[in-house]
Chains A and B, each alone.
Chain A
Amino acid sequence: MPFACLFVPDFSVQAVVRLEPELRNKAVAVFAGVTPLTKVFGANSAAKTAGVEIGMTKTQAEVCPGIVWRQRSLSQESTAHSALLDCAWTISPRVEGSGQEELPDTVVVDIAGCEKLLGSPEKIAGDLQRVAAEVGFDANVAVAANAESAICAARGFPGITIIPAGDEAARIGTPPLSSLKIPMELLDTLARWGIHTCAEFAALPEIAVVERVGQEGRRWQLVARGADARPLLPKDLPLQFAECLDLEFPVELLEPLMFVMNRLLDELCTRLRMHALATNEIQLTLTLQGNGSRRKESLVHVRTLRLPVPARESKFLLKLLQLDLQNHPPNAPVVGVRISAVPAGPRTRQLGLFLPLSPEPERLEVTLARIRNTVGDDHVGSPLLLDTHRPDAFRQTHFVLPESTTRTATMQRRTTAALRMYRPPLPAGVELREKKPAAVICEGARRRILALSGPWRTKGEWWSETAWARDEWDVLMEALRPAYRPVASEPPEEETALYRIYRDLRLRRWFIEGIYD
């Protein structure tokens, strides 16, 4: 009994309802098509009870009272199908999704060998139904010896159905032929013959069926008999998780948009947790309302957040997205939201017993995002020195907490002279004697150089427009700015200090770069 099938009835409606849980107990119907050819594409059982039928025109359907109407969204159905696959992957790695576009509501799982790990087929079917409910689906589950019987049973019977091996023909005989998703032409032919159920079709002589409707008819007859033993076509695990929602009305304010994003992130994080994964990159794509121009392509606003540590907490991700959108708001009302997450292994960290506690990376990230909102993106981060001889060359990187490590006893601390840089460097005039600096004129005062060492010559990027070349000197001279004295009564004495001065060979100007401690 190696196959389980997960089937979501009224899939187009449930794809909408899973992202709008407040509609769960209401009569909901979905329209498809463009005006004036809009027709009812799907309806849940409450809506059908209220009189809605598939294929009704919009005008006919709107007569029915108390129905919530939604436009069909292919992108929402696609992400709902991905969520359905995720449910199946929690049970087994061999999962077959819809190979055909018309079956996004069905997935088949190979559960051979799962009994020892997960329990009896009944328990596996119950687990599948529970996991589907977690992502918002009210699904039927069937377990059978072959994939097609499982699909047929899941489509034909509500709830959980377990078909013992060898009993397929008897069990799937009662549902109507339409539950097999037989092509319409063949279904019409069979209806003209007076064949309406699987059992009636299965009872027809095989050779006679082949003579009249060909090999295709024979294949469907094998399915109706529960004897079609086709191999499973398993899908690969996804490289990206995505959730999307098309909005009924354009949203201009951030708060309602956050409400929508919260739902999507909740679903996304639930799916990541199913795979025991987290994410280190989130991409938000907002589809914007057109500005009335004739351009057909839709406007989008894309924001990508790269996280320093993998995370799967929806509140944390929502806060980061909120702060990012406050800093980079879209320039038009939003009509569609899509959030995709690149999966990564969850963060594993062993805390040391005697190590000091460091801030939680998530809280630190939110704090950094808040600071970025205030001071700007380019003004937050930590410097990273570049592999170059250019003085003071660095680039800014994202601030990440360093790993806590115990300082080893062998680590040597060597004393080095610290250079306190003037930013920007102080322009100066320099008097030369025998091509060496003899005095520095800065801030209106002339200071004689008492001792010097140099020149230290560097140049680089001579092949580009950002070429630089300089001669540095370390000079001992009177201090530019006298040191602070707490006791004014002490007699002033001549202070000297060690400075680094340099001549920019391209600008042909002198600067004081800094003072040594």
Chain B
Amino acid sequence: MSETVRPDTGSIEAVEAGLIGANYICNRQTATAIYLARNLRKPVLVEGPAGVGKTELARATAHYLDLPLIRMQCYEGLDESKALYEWKYGKQLLYTQILKDTYGASLRGIESISEALEKIGDFDDVFFSEQFLEARPLLAALRQENGAVLLVDEIDKSDQEFEAFLLEILSDFQVTIPEIGTISATVPPLVVLTSNDSRDLGDALKRRCLHLHIGYPDAKLEERIIEVRVPGVEGRLRAQIVAFVQKLRTFELKKLPSVSETIDWARALVLLHVTSLDADAVRDTLNVLLKYESDIESMKKHVNSILAAVN
């Protein structure tokens, strides 16, 4: 993508093609979501099981739109100072120490207190200027000149209070820093929020977002994904891999294998020079697909029957 031509977001098809160009295969629903988000300037809230490509969607979108991706990982206890901005306290202290003599000298000879205060006030403004402002992800996203893709990852892990605070930014795309003033975005960033549904999000936040649910892909889509992400896999093996995983998802497991696991598995099989699925190869590599010991144990019994169904 060249620097001068902005990527085309004029239609859903263009978005879909663009995402494919960024190595992200998606269904039409996902493309529609990005298209609407871009054109309505609404944040997208992406939900779905772990590993279906929620975060990847943001990354691919950034790549496709040729914008920087600014990522903010949420966790319990995340607050404004870590998400928005913070003063560079250390630098401020250091500078005051260094400049001690300078302003000591400039204050010399001043008689009245009010005059001294005025002088100090000048210094004050210097120390609370943009120079000493540490931009955290949210502020950084607002300050990008050409806009950015802001990824707020796992919003459900953050606190309720933080969610409320986020609302303010998402609706107006501006923040107020008391010492400096209001900073508003030149180009509003495209915001992607992801959630694993570990807690219910507030209604206010939900209302402001487009809701995209990405589930496990169907076999056709998954094959295309594997084709793009793991080029070394041959057609027949690919079909086998996908069919096997699809079958696996019908069992009751603690953690169902996701797209990312399928990709990892395909990579592992390529690395092991497996050209066709057989029971031994599957048993040896099952730990790539399943993340719980109990899942692996219970599935080992079924490997043969699944393989029979797949082939």
**Is the A/B pair a real complex?**
no
